[in-house]
Structure 1
Amino acid sequence: MNDSAEPGYDADQRTVPRSDLDAAWGDLFPFDPYPQQVDGVERAREVMGDGGYLLLEGACGTGKTLIALVAGLQAVRDGVGERVFAVTPVKQQLKQFVTEVRTLNAERDEPFAGLVLVGKRDLLPYARTDALPTDRGVHDAASDMRELTARLVSRESEMPLDVSPGALDGRINVCGADGCDRLSYSEARCPEHRGERDEEAPWYDPLRAEVLCRLVEDLPGERLETAGATAPYPAEPPHTRDVLVDADEADPLADESGRFDPFYARFFADEGWVGFDFTAGERHVLDAEAVARAAVGRGTCPHEAMAALMAEADVLIGNYNHAFDPKTRRLTREKAGVLDDGTLLVVDEAHMLEERVRDLLSETLSLHAIRTAHRDVALVREYLSGTGGAPGADPETHRRHARRTMSEFSGVDERDLRTAQSFLEWLAAAIDDEVSDYLREEYGDWQRAFREGSLPDDDHELPLRDPETVEVDRLTEAAGEEFPDDVWLRLRDVGRVAAAVHENDGQTDRTPVCDAVGTLLWRWGTAGHATYFREIELEYAEKAVEDTTLPDWASAYNAALSLYNCIPQDPLARTFDDLAGGVLMSATLEPFDVYRRVSGLDLLAEGSEDRDPRRVETASYGLAFPESNRASWVVDLPPFTYRERGPPVTDYDEMTPTRRAYASALVCLARGRGNVLLCLPSYREAEWAVEYLREHVSKPVLRDRSSDSAETDAMLSRFFQDDGIHRVLVTSARGTVTEGVDYRGHRLHCAAAVGVPYANTAAPRMRAVTNAYDRTFADGFETAVQVPAVRKARQAFGRVLRGHDETGVRVLLDRRYLPDAPRSVNGLLGEAERAEFTRVSPDMLDLGLAQFWDSNA
């Protein structure tokens, strides 16, 4: 029930008949709602109606997804916003949103238009069929193909397509300039004889794009098939030599670099017309498969189609990146125009928001990218001097293209290019020095250890300042001694200009990285040192290195600069303030005062000189299931800390007393009835528990480890297998199977969180985060470490009860969860949990389990 609810409904009533609802949203709800759902919808609707945000904590069975969707859609009907945008970091929850919208649409004459947002890998046809070049990443290969396609369909393109003037019903024009017989497509003159382009005309020529698509359609070979649709284009990406006149001479692109994307071209040929609508999706909800099927069948780009349909959707469903990643927001905000004051935001699994957004705001820059950017700038300088270019290329043409591009930019000259080139060379050497010094200090003769195979395959953090102070990092300080103070600021402009030179050069297919590198280095030099922590990431990656200009450690490690966001409070507040309001929901948001602070919502509520205060409220709903169906215990064991538990040995005689006590308790729980989930504070401790339990428990003991999703799914399938055999699953409370995994029905009978799953507070990055929170919120350890850890434990034991007819046991193993314990974290549990969890001594655990299951036989 609602722990803070106003009176007005019967707490024992199972559902409220829709016929009794006196609410505008009553026709939206697909079944008779529970009382907490009625209360939740009313609260959320009222808060969103005032342009505010509701923090909604609801235990499993509350129906948080339906509450948020119904309240948001009713707010749209009330004119508060234009659409609902639901974001979640968990794929299973994304599917749940899709299911719920389809359920809402099932009986509606005018269904809501729903659209699932996904990335290019899931939508680009040649990526879906694994037909992209294998020597590069999918994203880079796809981007290169799309860039080349854009060049082919550009109004300014000088690449002659292999088509006659009379093709396409005579619509193709021939240049009207005297003595010129070049094709000009939809223009009166070819690019060479054209005046300044009409600024109102699009950059692309739809007739060129149409010609390009027709040429590809006529190519022989099997057609591409995906999502149950057959495309009009070949299964392999076409090449420019297939569509250009005298391709060997006119097309300087080599092999794979000459491949382009006809689906992308068709989108421009149709001038952005998608050719299908939401009826192509099941119950008016377009997921990735539906978009791909509809788009591929008519030869247009599914990813562009998705972007074009975004503004027409009533409900958008995506992941956190679409709302909070500065890069992805360009699609959802700038291109599609849907992250604005017409959007009501629903944030699912909101307890993850702070950590996930911190990662989204952080950036890395590899040594490889720095060296490549150095080469980009060096080549531009060579072009400008008339000495650069590949064998057979005309240096004078390079020079002409480079100077023309440089003239289009003000404020960047050849001296800036020279400084940037020197700086990038210096930066690569500085990273080499930092890494070399660290490896010598850490391992001594590390080269010998590497040759002998005894070098640990560990990754490392190399902090560039004291994590517990706010000071300029060593690289920035050293750069100030070698270069002008504004060098970091200038790198962004230089990178942008150098990239434009390469992109406008007609003799090369080079894909420059200097723009992105310059922008990141600009951020490195301007971002606050209290908010961002600077370090070098060293990743163990054994490989053969033939480049003699690389550092000797490159055969064992990859190095990257890391600009790590410590506190995302301000960016979150700005994002929320851009929108019409919304709901942030999770089973574990309490303590609300802490969540309001770290999420930036307190800043929103306070307002500022340029921002009006926004309404921020909270609501909490406990388990709505019969209390007799569950046992909730804190086992009074010593703190499971690193110092107390000692090394993870499996010989009972060699264990510390604390580890022995936990080993006995784990065996007791594992031997209990049904499937058992044991959540240790780390994967290392989970490994210990697995080894020990396999020697002392007859049930199969499954080990979850940090792995890819396919391996995790296979492990869960074994755990859920309905074959009459009960199992034990051991994992880390900081892993993936304790959040967003559905243990409904009889999949789980007991869930236990072992210890308080703190992050590694000794790591430099975590120390920097704690320091930043100390400075902002006074109690950095509680807000940055303790609260997230307790939420992990709450998520873990929350897996066990998912419905009214389920029974189960929830256990916390560590006396720190008790209210009177030293270093107690009891106050960080939810209010209902503090009231319900009771103390159990270790020697009574076995008896307690037996009595509970006997009473629930």
Structure 2
Amino acid sequence: MTDAPRTVARDSLDARWSDWFPFDPYPQQADGVERALAAMRDGGFLALEGACGTGKTLIALAAGLQAVEEDVGERVFAVTPVKQQLKQFVAEVRAINAGRTDGEPPVDGLVVVGKRDLLPYARTDALPGTKSTHDAAGDLRETTVSLVHRESTHALDVAPGALDGRINVCAASDCDTLSYSEPRCPDHREERDEDAPWYDPVRAEALCSLVESMNGDRLETAGVSAPYPDEPPHTRDVLDIYDAEELPAGDAGYFDPFFSRFLADEGWPGVDFSAGEQNVLDPEALVAAAVQRGTCPHECLAALMPEADVLVGNYNHAFDPITRQLTAEKAGVLDGDTLLVVDEAHMLEERVRDLLSETCSLHALRTAHRDLALAREYLSGNGGEPGSDSGAHQRHARQTLAEFDSVDERDLAFAQSVLEWAAATVDDEVSEFLGSEFGDWSRQFAEGSLPEEDHELPLRDPESVETDRFTDRALSEFPDDVWTRVRDACYVAGQVHENDGQTDRTPTAPTVGRFVHQWGVLDHATYFREIELEYSEKAVTDTTLPEWAEAFNASLVLFNCIPRDPLARVLDDLAGGVLMSATLEPFDVFERVSGLELLSEGREEGDGGEDRPPRRVEDATYGLGFPPENRASWVLDLPAFTYRNRGPPVTDYEEMTRVRQSYASALVTAARSHGNVLVCMPSYREAEWAVDYLREGTEKPVLRDRSSESSETDAMLGRFFQDDDTDRVLVTSARGTVTEGVDYHGERLHCVVVVGVPYANTSTPRMGAVMNAYDREFEQGSGFDTAVQVPAVRKSRQAFGRVIRGPDEAGVRLLFDRRYLPNAPRSVNALLGEAEREEFSAVSPDMLELALEQFWTSR
């Protein structure tokens, strides 16, 4: 191999896209942009594998921005599952803007995050009650709506003519009610202007003015102060005459003045991209600008999304059905005008599989059962809290039920009996499992000896496609249309609660009904049904709950084994894009599981949907473009590091199996080599063993990475990267978080050791179902290769790819396990990249120390 030229001068490139580069591109970047742009121009996708340091982020952004300039799309939406990579996209967009010449408009960039990061009262932990952020924020918003609605009859505590004379008094004779922006109050309006928004901006501004005048400390977040108090205001603070009993329950309570200000501004965010560094609005900049103005950052985000040239978010925004629906419908940015960039795309199948799986907890079943019971009580005229108007409940409920021809009161009772049966069946399954698994489990729990572990309870043989026993039991108890009847009845029960004027209850029934319907109608090959038990020790005062609820939470699970069809539908809705990673090969496997293969084949009318023409799908691979003499790549010829071969993880050398002894000695040799060393074991359990042994065998500090919170991981990495002339060893799992998306540039890392092949646990029911699903969908025997072996080798490739990040860096890549060699028993060599297969050579354990010394001496 010869050295590749460092860069290509931009002024030598006859390409308009070069204007988007903040510096002279590498040759592989120039080629990558051309390939990506060609695919996008044809409405297609490029699967791009590029080694660490290739500059994939700039390739995708430059190609996407040029495609936007050519009207191929209107925006670029980049999604990544790794926070570090999200920051990298932001940095690259800012670098592009920094390199723009005078007169060239900047790229408007926006980071898309959730409510928890944007809503001011959520950021300061001031949301009232104990509900989730989503539900508590929803309650604030509903109360705000009741106060600013154009048809609201609630009188705000403001004077006629306030707000510079913009608050009107009703023009009807003998009526002195405030009508705000309207000529007449709601009682005297003959008809509503259909073109007017549902809210009254003058009411909204008056509400904000009242809150601004309140005493107390102001809310502070993102380094700025808001014009409102640090706790959400209450309706009693702003209404002219406040009597809780005069207000429907849903209209009384705390509200959100930030949302009110957004409505007062009639949807104008009051924030633009210039508020962000180099025209890129990250969450902190967006919150700071919005909060200072007193407007809602989350609403500003939605308003700005269609205006952005580049959006950066996580996988949920593109692939989670609920989040995607909000992103697509509210902001309108996931459509045929959007070019999608999927980063770390080797994770796509695994991450989306979880997003597209559905769960329904025992608690949700019981709550939905309660929703149905209350709806029936309302309909009977006997419902409501003590002192409430049961007749009003009944009127609302009957009016709602009358809107649905297919559901009557008998259906509500039927659905209630089905959910009661489902909860009892979950109880039976869990009780039977715990008894067979632990015997007297309740005594063990009381003694504190019950293992604090989660469990999967499969409801069918994972290696078959038979109907699960839960479904069989349901169909033996209820008619065949049980799934549809429960869904429809639960939806109607939810509408009864939503439309009731005396309650602010948020119903669970519609979500549970939808889940029950999916359980009955989704196929059994793609979706694996089971019960998930999550260990959660807690005090239980509800005597109707099962005894085991003190130790476990139980949920029914619909696990999506093969998500390629929904992935293909998502991608097919878009203008094109790039799916990229350092580890996508083998491409045929990636394109099969990601849905790209389906796009390339197209679909004729009658194949389960509308006619869909084939889409262009290309692939490209770029190896390390840095001097090859700066790296050493060896496979240590050791026996396979498997559970059967290695024996128990003891740290006494004499008690180890011969296989473990050989690995222990090799690990010490690698750990003692020059610089910082990253050791990647096949599991965290084996990482614990390696840490304990290496601390006795090397003078370097040995750091342990655990499966922990991101803050703990960041602190541990900070110690590893510490610039104090002390070399360190970091031991982790190759299936952990520090082997992907973490930048080990410069002198942060000198050697990576990957021990064994980091296979996922194939003994779990879910993994068995996944392998079985692939065997049946593609070909027998492909399940293990597709679902287990290929992802495992990608984990290894991600790990050893951390060590060389730039043209001036040097490092060693070590694979400890002869299965990485060609022609070895159960070899995985063919799953390495082509360049990696050429570079990695075998070295015997007794020559490792000399080889390492010679390499670093030559540096």
If the length of structure 1 is used for normalisation, what is the TM-score?
0.96
How far does the alpha carbon of each residue in 1:637-686 deviate from its partner, in whole angstroms, 9 at most, with x for none?
11111111122111222221111111111111111111111111111111
Match for residue 29 of structure 1?
Answer: 21
Letter of the 2:633 counterpart: S
* Structure 2 Cα separation of the partners of residues 376 and 188 of structure 1: 41
1:88 correspondence with 2:65: no
Cα gap change, 1:402 to 1:162, in 2 (>3 Å): farther
Whether the aligned pair in 2 keeps the contact of 1:224 and 1:232 (CA below 8 Å) is yes
Structure 1, unaligned runs of 5 or more: 2-9
Match for residue 853 of structure 1?
Answer: 856
1:833 correspondence with 2:836: yes
How far does the alpha carbon of each residue in 1:571-596 deviate from its partner, in whole angstroms, 9 at most, with x for none?
11111111111111111000011111
Cα gap change, 1:164 to 1:514, in 2 (>3 Å): farther
Specify which of 235, 239, 242 is matched with residue 240 of structure 1: 235
Letter of the 1:817 counterpart: Y
Q: Which moved more, 1:700-709 or 1:470-479?
A: 470-479
SS state of the match for residue 150, structure 2?
coil
Identity of aligned residues (%): 73
Report the CA distance between 1:762 and its aligned residue: 0.3
Match for residue 782 of structure 1?
Answer: 785
* Structure 1 Cα separation of the partners of residues 325 and 672 of structure 2: 53
SS state of the match for residue 739, structure 2?
coil
Q: Which moved more, 1:272-281 or 1:501-510?
A: 501-510
Match for residue 106 of structure 1?
Answer: 98
Match for residue 361 of structure 1?
Answer: 356
What is the correspondence of 1:166-315 to structure 2 with a 5 Å cutoff?
166-174=161-169, 182-187=177-182, 190-191=185-186, 197-250=192-245, 258-315=253-310
SS state of the match for residue 751, structure 1?
strand
Report the CA distance between 1:295 and its aligned residue: 1.0
SS state of the match for residue 16, structure 2?
coil
Report the CA distance between 1:78 and its aligned residue: 1.4
Specify which of 472, 481, 487 is matched with residue 476 of structure 2: 481
Report the CA distance between 1:197 and its aligned residue: 4.7
1:443 correspondence with 2:438: yes
* Structure 1 Cα separation of the partners of residues 571 and 599 of structure 2: 8
Specify which of 317, 320, 324 is matched with residue 319 of structure 2: 324
Letter of the 1:48 counterpart: M
Letter of the 1:593 counterpart: D
SS state of the match for residue 715, structure 2?
helix
How far does the alpha carbon of each residue in 1:16-57 deviate from its partner, in whole angstroms, 9 at most, with x for none?
111211111122211111111111111111111111111111
Match for residue 573 of structure 2?
Answer: 578
* Structure 2 Cα separation of the partners of residues 374 and 178 of structure 1: 51
* Structure 1 Cα separation of the partners of residues 707 and 59 of structure 2: 34
Letter of the 1:168 counterpart: L
Letter of the 1:220 counterpart: N
What is the correspondence of 1:338-737 to structure 2 with a 5 Å cutoff?
338-609=333-604, 610-737=611-738
Report the CA distance between 1:178 and its aligned residue: 7.4
Whether the aligned pair in 2 keeps the contact of 1:240 and 1:251 (CA below 8 Å) is no
Match for residue 608 of structure 2?
Answer: none
SS state of the match for residue 327, structure 1?
helix
How far does the alpha carbon of each residue in 1:31-90 deviate from its partner, in whole angstroms, 9 at most, with x for none?
111111111111111111111111111111211111111111111111211111111111
Letter of the 2:644 counterpart: R
Letter of the 1:842 counterpart: P
Whether the aligned pair in 1 keeps the contact of 2:86 and 2:312 (CA below 8 Å) is yes
Whether the aligned pair in 1 keeps the contact of 2:248 and 2:501 (CA below 8 Å) is no
Structure 2, unaligned runs of 5 or more: 605-610
* Structure 1 Cα separation of the partners of residues 165 and 239 of structure 2: 19
Match for residue 752 of structure 1?
Answer: 753
Letter of the 1:455 counterpart: L
Report the CA distance between 1:537 and its aligned residue: 0.8
Cα gap change, 1:406 to 1:205, in 2 (>3 Å): farther
Match for residue 772 of structure 2?
Answer: 771
Q: Which moved more, 1:371-380 or 1:546-555?
A: 371-380
* Structure 2 Cα separation of the partners of residues 658 and 427 of structure 1: 50
1:793 correspondence with 2:796: yes
Whether the aligned pair in 2 keeps the contact of 1:144 and 1:257 (CA below 8 Å) is no
How far does the alpha carbon of each residue in 1:244-288 deviate from its partner, in whole angstroms, 9 at most, with x for none?
243333466889982111111221222211112111111111111
Letter of the 1:782 counterpart: D
Whether the aligned pair in 2 keeps the contact of 1:464 and 1:474 (CA below 8 Å) is yes
* Structure 2 Cα separation of the partners of residues 94 and 142 of structure 1: 26
If the length of structure 2 is used for normalisation, what is the TM-score?
0.96
Match for residue 141 of structure 2?
Answer: 146
Letter of the 1:438 counterpart: F
* Structure 1 Cα separation of the partners of residues 465 and 381 of structure 2: 47
Report the CA distance between 1:176 and its aligned residue: 6.2
* Structure 2 Cα separation of the partners of residues 104 and 619 of structure 1: 24
* Structure 2 Cα separation of the partners of residues 584 and 574 of structure 1: 15
SS state of the match for residue 359, structure 1?
helix
* Structure 2 Cα separation of the partners of residues 218 and 420 of structure 1: 50
* Structure 1 Cα separation of the partners of residues 146 and 250 of structure 2: 17
How far does the alpha carbon of each residue in 1:786-843 deviate from its partner, in whole angstroms, 9 at most, with x for none?
0000000000111111111111110111111111111111100000000100011111
Report the CA distance between 1:198 and its aligned residue: 4.8
* Structure 2 Cα separation of the partners of residues 737 and 257 of structure 1: 48
Report the CA distance between 1:165 and its aligned residue: 4.0
Report the CA distance between 1:232 and its aligned residue: 1.4
* Structure 2 Cα separation of the partners of residues 734 and 195 of structure 1: 66
* Structure 2 Cα separation of the partners of residues 589 and 770 of structure 1: 20
Report the CA distance between 1:160 and its aligned residue: 3.7
Match for residue 6 of structure 1?
Answer: none
SS state of the match for residue 161, structure 1?
coil
Whether the aligned pair in 1 keeps the contact of 2:58 and 2:92 (CA below 8 Å) is yes
Whether the aligned pair in 2 keeps the contact of 1:700 and 1:726 (CA below 8 Å) is yes
SS state of the match for residue 507, structure 1?
coil
Letter of the 1:549 counterpart: T
Letter of the 1:585 counterpart: M
